[in-house]
Structure 1
Amino acid sequence: MVTTAGSAPTPGTILHLREHGFRVVATDVDPAAPGLYLADRGYLVPPGDSEAFLPRMRSLCAEEQAVAVVPLVDEELVRVGELAKDGVAVLLPRLDFVTTCLDKYVLMQQLEDAGIGVPRTWLASEWPTGAADASPDGLIVKPRSGRGSRGVMVVDSTRDMARVVSESGYAADELIVQERVTGPEYTVSVVVWRDGDVQAVVPKEVLLKQGVTKYAITRRNPEVVRTCRAVQTALRADGPFNVQLCLDGRGRPRVFEINPRFSSTAALTVAAGVDEIAGLLRQAVCDGPRLDDEWREGVAMVRRWTDEFMPEARFAAHGISPAPAPSSSGAGFALPGSVSTGDQPPIVPVRAR
């Protein structure tokens, strides 16, 4: 089961797994999510941070006899990990690593304590006067929790700090302030599973990011690799994670965020030679072979829209429309049972609030 079927990279992940012989069930909150129609079956689920999410996922896993779940969005990571208690392999790091990474302030403290380079970081409620003067490239203000690209603001002067915090919509202790590091940015896939042995580290230099990485190139950088291996040694993820870092003026990696899940650039990792999602899935469900840390440098990713085509009869057999159907009350969350790319009949829609 693959979640977040509407995210830009997920349809490609679904098609890739199906090409490798996996039966894939996709989920999303939006009936227009394209991955729902490219999987073997597709289901609508409540938002990952809602109380209704886990019961719905648990029911779907049982109904579809899912042996593994690949969660791809931060809001659902803690809850979806509960499925491991049902015997479902959840392709995530261990829970304590997940919760640490989801609190960016705690993460920075733990990395610094382990001797891993990070930007200087404060809570906005504890931000010291004069700190901006010690950071000539400015400061980054962002929510302490939540996806890294949301709510990020650049502050150039001390005078702007109070205004930015007051206009952010967050309490001061819900924001962190970080020294801005302006060197080359990397997003790094770290491939590791429950034995804790790092199987591969694939650094990718980010050329353009707009919410997610749009353009990137695989780059060999021994210091970046050393830093990412040190994260696993210090914090014991024992599952796949993605490190985001920048190089400072002396070329030293400074980690500013870790995503405790597969990266949105996993397709580039595959193109370079390390099939991290399919490889770890095989290890999780059928004792598959470990992956080799052999990959090609200089592979460039250009993220683009693409189209898939199918017969009208197959599309109609999905049983739902990509256009969201309004509920009779104008509120609530509609949960059509499923869509399918096979010949199974659609399940009667169920409504939940």
Structure 2
Amino acid sequence: MSDATLPILFTSAGRRVELTRCFRVAAEKLGLTIDVHACDMDPRLSAACNDADHSFAVPRCDAPEYIDVLYEYCREHSIRILVPTIDPELMPLAQARKRFADIGTWLHVSGPDTIAIVRDKAKTAEILGRAGVPVPKTASAEVARGAPDEWSWPVFMKPSGGSASRGIGLIEDPSQIARHYPEPMIVQEFLQGDEFTINIYVDANGELVAAIPHKRLSVRAGEVEKGCTVSRPDICEIAEKLVAALPDPTGVMCFQLVDDHQRGPRVFEINARFGGGYPLADHAGGRFAESLLARVTGKPECASDDWRADVLMTRYDAAIFSG
């Protein structure tokens, strides 16, 4: 491997072929070559693993040995950047940042205090609301069931620590709220309007550098299938308040909001990682992947707020063959 080659690892790689290819293009712009490593529970069944230069199997990200397996791989292969792609692995990685830094691996993950907020939707609404970020009315399922007259029905129910649209649903009246759930559940006022994802870049000093909203025109399995970048100064102002409310954010994140017909924009979720719709922000000129590579290699960060509105993304299924 040449000195100009930078090994980068994408964890829980799954279908994230577009993301790894964004990094390959970004590296070329910086005069670098990246050696793409990817892992998943069964690499044979992961498109991104099959498209990578190297791949390997890992246990579930909630297994006690998960971080140790990643650590040993990073040490053995001199991985410079580790990029997580799903929410459940963020906290274990955030807590291990120093351990990995000691072997020269930079983890693209915000600090534990920020992850603790964004992984708890009730806490997200509380912290953001106190900071002046518009959020939907939110309460635990128990509180909503005990005070039904304080709510306009129907309401939206979801796991407080859920991700990837798991366990969400519309509750028509309080009688549908069970007395016990296997995990903490919250209810939020039912929002109706256009839904947006905002990809943001926070530099090494914790400052918001860029916010790129796109309208979600079509969604499949919780991920944008068709989207279009839009110029919305009001949404970018929300992004500034959101970043200021978080204690230790860094790198690429995204958040979702609904522009409710009556209430206006309301933020309902933050993902402290690359979102599935990041390639749209990248194509529009955001340069987030390029900026992360620059940060790690000692070059000036180059994430740009000079991006193009009205860039349309439409996705299709493609096959990657192996064997």
Which whole-Å deviations, capped at 9, do the CAs of 1:199-236 have from their partners, x for residues lacking one? Answer: 11000111122221211111111111110111111214
Cα deviation 1:40-74 (Å, max 9, x = unaligned): 11011111111110000001101110011110101
> Does 1:142 pair with 2:158?
yes
> How far apart in 1 are the matches of 2:147 and 2:115?
33
Residue of structure 2 equivalent to 1:2: 10
Structure 2, unaligned runs of 5 or more? 1-8, 28-32
Structure 1 residue 89 displacement after superposition: 1.0
TM-score normalized with structure 2 length:
0.87
Normalised by the length of structure 1, the TM-score is 0.80
Q: Per the alignment, do residues 288 and 132 of structure 1 end up closer, same or farther by CA in structure 2, a change over 3 Å counting?
A: farther
CA contact (8 A) 2:93 2:109 kept: no
Structure 2: distance between partners of 1:206 and 1:291: 22
Distance of 2:169 and 2:150 partners within structure 1: 17
Q: In structure 2, the residue corresponding to 1:215 is in which secondary structure?
A: strand
Q: Structure 1 counterpart of 2:21, which letter? A: L
Q: Tell me, yes or no, if structure 1 residue 156 matches structure 2 residue 172.
A: yes
The structure-2 alpha-carbon separation of the partners of 1:271 and 1:223, relative to structure 1 and needing over 3 Å to count, comes to same
Structure 1 residue identity aligned to 2:18: G
Does structure 1 residue 179 correspond to structure 2 residue 189? yes
Superposition deviation, residue 153 in structure 1:
0.7
Match of 1:195 in 2: 205
Q: Which amino acid aligns with 1:191?
A: Y
Deviations 1:242-292 (A, max 9, x none): 111111224632111101111111100111111212322321343333322
Rounded to whole Å, the distance in 1 between the matches of 2:79 and 2:318 is: 28
Q: Report what 1:324 is aligned to.
A: none
Output aligned runs, 1:209-228, within 5 Å.
209-211=219-221, 212-228=223-239
Write the distance in 2 (CA, Å) between the matches of 1:92 and 1:292.
20
Structure whose alpha-carbon radius of gyration is higher = 1
Secondary structure of residue in 2 paired with 1:269: helix
Task: Tell me if 1:85 matches 2:102.
Answer: no
Which residue of the partner structure matches residue 55 of structure 1? 68
Query: Which residue in 2 is equivalent to 1:41?
Result: 54
CA RMSD of aligned residues (A): 1.9
The one-letter code of the counterpart of 2:237 is R
Matched, 1:246 2:258: yes
Q: Does 1:288 align with 2:300?
A: yes
Consecutive unaligned residues of structure 1, counting only runs of 5 or more, are 310-314, 317-353
Partners of 1:242 and 1:158 lie apart in 2 by: 32
- Give matches, 1:45-124, under 5 Å: 45-81=58-94, 82-87=96-101, 88-124=105-141
Comparing both structures, which one devotes a greater share of its residues to strand? 2
In structure 2, the CA distance between the partners of 1:116 and 1:306, relative to structure 1 (3 Å rule), is same
Alpha-carbon spacing, 1:35–1:255, altered in 2? closer, same or farther (3 Å): same
Q: Deviations over 1:293-335 (max 9, x none)?
A: 01111111112212346xxxxx55xxxxxxxxxxxxxxxxxxx
Aligned to 1:340: none
Q: 2:291 aligns to what?
A: 279
Q: Which SS does the other structure have where 2:294 is aligned?
A: helix
Residue 4 of structure 1 aligns with an amino acid whose one-letter code is S
Equivalence for 1:307: 319
Residue 13 (structure 1) aligns with: 19
Larger mean CA deviation between 198-207 and 228-237 belongs to: 228-237
Aligned to 2:40: 28
Give per-residue Cα distances to partners, 1:139-183, cap 9 Å, x unaligned.
111101021510001112233334xx65xx525xx0000001111
> What is the rounded CA distance, in whole Å, between the counterparts of 2:149 and 2:261 in structure 1?
17
The counterpart of 1:266, out of the listed 271, 278, 287, is 278
Tell me if the contact between 1:29 and 1:44 (Cα under 8 Å) persists in the aligned partners.
Answer: yes
Q: Shift of residue 190 of structure 1? A: 0.8
Query: CA contact under 8 A between 1:262 and 1:277: conserved in structure 2?
Result: no
List per-residue Cα deviations over 1:86-130 (Å, max 9, x = no partner): 312111222211111001111111111111111000001211556
